[in-house]
């Protein structure tokens, strides 16, 4: 038995609080702001591990070709407060690891901002940056803003339909919250994904008539990116690796790396982990202990944002980018663009 199920009585109390809050927004007791400009929200019902970042990047990549796009996040883990616009001098403690990852990907092609108050953030981006569309990262529970188009992510291996509310499970709000989504994306699907599996998931989700359901899988880059050079996948088998992860549900990433590199020494940390001086020293010591001629420190793109300023590691530090591939990308793209064009 999963010991967390013993916490179900506390989940009942959590359900009461979240349900009352959602009811207050649904009935207008609490104000939810709808903007004239299109607002696209990407989020989930769980506390993490759905592969949100690459999906946010995918959506931004679609939008930026046709519209002046701005990305707005809360900036989890930053040491600043208020509204901050990402720039070339931004550090992880200024804006958080995920927004820094977004800025690192898009540079000046998209405005990346963080703000605890999404209403203030959106107003600022529209007024001062002439943003035509706002992409709200992890905003599904931020009910102060009423998005025009909501994309809900759920993990193939841990769908919200089988999960429980915190603290017995990982859900931040009841499963019924999925009704607010316009699109549901089942993430991290296996390569050998059968029609039977798809139909079983669709039956559990039971989408409403207006909802579209898509399925995505992770695609790993053929190059590990370093500070001075990259390593192509043809070279990986020769390398011994210190693998550093600070993400939720790291196992698929770890398994992939172990299947592609010669030897892997894994150091696991919690999601959004704030690396201490002692942690950096432990990583560096682990690297020094490897006697192999070909060796690197490998991490995720998000973790790289928190490690790249460490002079002790940077020369040997690499990250492995990932993308996502949708089963019907063209249909997903057209539905998204049609919403923005009409609004």
Beta bridge partners of 225: 230, 319
pLDDT at 49: 81
Residue 1, pLDDT above cutoff 70:
no
Rounded to whole angstroms, the Cα distance separating 104 from 100 reads 6
Mean pLDDT over each residue of the chain, to the nearest integer: 96
Mean pLDDT computed over 100-115: 97
Give the rounded percent of residues in the chain with a pLDDT score beyond 90. 93
pLDDT given for residue 199 in this prediction: 96
Segment 112-124 shows an average pLDDT of 98
Two structure tokens written together for 317 = 């530090």
Which helix H or strand E contains 264, and what residues bound it? strand 263-268
Provide mean pLDDT across the span 166-190. 96
SS3 253: helix
| CA-based nearest residue to 323, from 54, 88, 143 | 54
pTM assigned to the model: 0.95
Q: State residue 67 phi and psi, 5-degree precision.
A: -135, 155
C-beta of residue 243 within 8 angstroms of C-beta of residue 257: yes
pLDDT digits (tens, 9 = 90+) for 38-70: 999 999 999 988 899 999 999 999 999 999 999
Q: Are 132 and 21 in contact (CB under 8 A)?
A: no
- Sort strands 111-114 and 223-226 into parallel, antiparallel or unpaired: unpaired
Helical spans, DSSP H, in the chain: 8-27, 52-64, 92-95, 97-106, 118-129, 195-205, 251-260, 277-289, 301-307, 329-342
Q: Which range, of 129-133, 190-194, 252-256, averages the lowest pLDDT?
A: 190-194
- Looking at the predicted structure, is the pLDDT value of residue 19 above 80? yes
Q: How confident is the model at residue 340 (pLDDT cuts 50, 70, 90)?
A: very high
In the predicted model, is pLDDT for residue 81 greater than 80? yes
pLDDT tens per residue, range 307-336? 999 988 999 999 999 999 999 999 999 999
- In CATH, the number for domain 33-219+324-342 is 3.40.50.300
Pick the more confident residue, 261 or 192.
261
How far, in Å, CA of 70 to CA of 223, rounded?
A: 28
Residue 280 has pLDDT above 50, yes or no: yes
Tell me what pLDDT residue 319 has: 98
Spatial CB neighbours of 163, under 8 Å, sequence gap ≥ 6: 45, 46, 169, 170, 171, 175
Question: How far apart, in whole angstroms, are the C-alpha atoms of residue 119 and residue 142?
Answer: 10
At the top level of CATH, the class of 222-320 is: alpha beta
| Residue-wise pLDDT tens digits, 197-231 | 999 999 999 999 999 999 999 999 999 999 999 99
Spans of all domains in the chain:
33-219+324-342, 222-320
The model's confidence at residue 36, banded by pLDDT at 50, 70 and 90, is: very high
33-219+324-342 with 222-320: one CATH topology? yes
As a whole number, mean pLDDT of residues 152-172 equals 95
| Mean pLDDT value of segment 252-257 | 96
Q: What DSSP designation does 47 have?
A: S
């Amino acid at each position: 038995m999963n010991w967390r199920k013993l916490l179900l009585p506390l989940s009942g109390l959590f359900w009461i609080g979240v349900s009352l809050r959602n009811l207050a927004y649904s009935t207008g007791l609490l104000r939810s702001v709808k903007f004239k400009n299109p607002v696209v929200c990407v989020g989930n019902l769980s506390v993490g591990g759905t592969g949100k970042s690459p999906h946010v990047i995918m959506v931004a990549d679609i939008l930026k070709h046709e519209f002046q796009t701005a990305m707005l996040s809360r900036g989890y883990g930053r040491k600043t407060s208020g509204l901050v616009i990402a720039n070339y001098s931004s550090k992880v403690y200024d804006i958080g690891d995920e927004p820094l990852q977004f800025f690192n990907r898009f540079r000046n092609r998209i405005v990346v901002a963080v703000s605890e108050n999404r209403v203030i953030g959106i107003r600022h981006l529209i007024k001062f940056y002439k943003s035509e569309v706002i992409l709200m990262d992890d905003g599904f529970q931020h009910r102060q803003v009423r998005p025009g188009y909501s994309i809900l992510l759920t993990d193939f291996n841990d769908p919200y339909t089988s999960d429980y509310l915190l603290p017995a499970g990982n859900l931040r709000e009841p499963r019924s919250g999925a009704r607010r989504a316009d699109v549901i994306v089942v993430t991290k699907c296996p390569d050998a994904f059968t029609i039977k599996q798809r139909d079983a998931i669709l039956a559990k989700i039971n989408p409403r008539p207006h909802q579209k359901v898509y399925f995505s899988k992770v695609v790993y880059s053929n190059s590990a990116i370093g500070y001075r050079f990259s390593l192509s996948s043809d070279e990986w088998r020769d390398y011994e690796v210190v693998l550093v992860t600070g993400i939720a549900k790291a196992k698929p990433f770890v398994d992939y790396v172990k299947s592609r590199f010669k030897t892997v020494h894994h150091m696991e940390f919690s999601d959004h982990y704030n690396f201490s001086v002692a942690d950096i020293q432990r990583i560096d010591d682990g690297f020094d202990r490897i006697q192999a001629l070909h060796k690197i420190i490998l991490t995720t793109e998000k973790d790289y944002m928190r490690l790249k300023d460490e002079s002790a590691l940077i020369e040997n530090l690499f990250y492995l980018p990932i993308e996502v591939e949708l089963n019907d990308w063209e249909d997903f793209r057209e539905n998204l663009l049609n919403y923005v064009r009409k609004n």
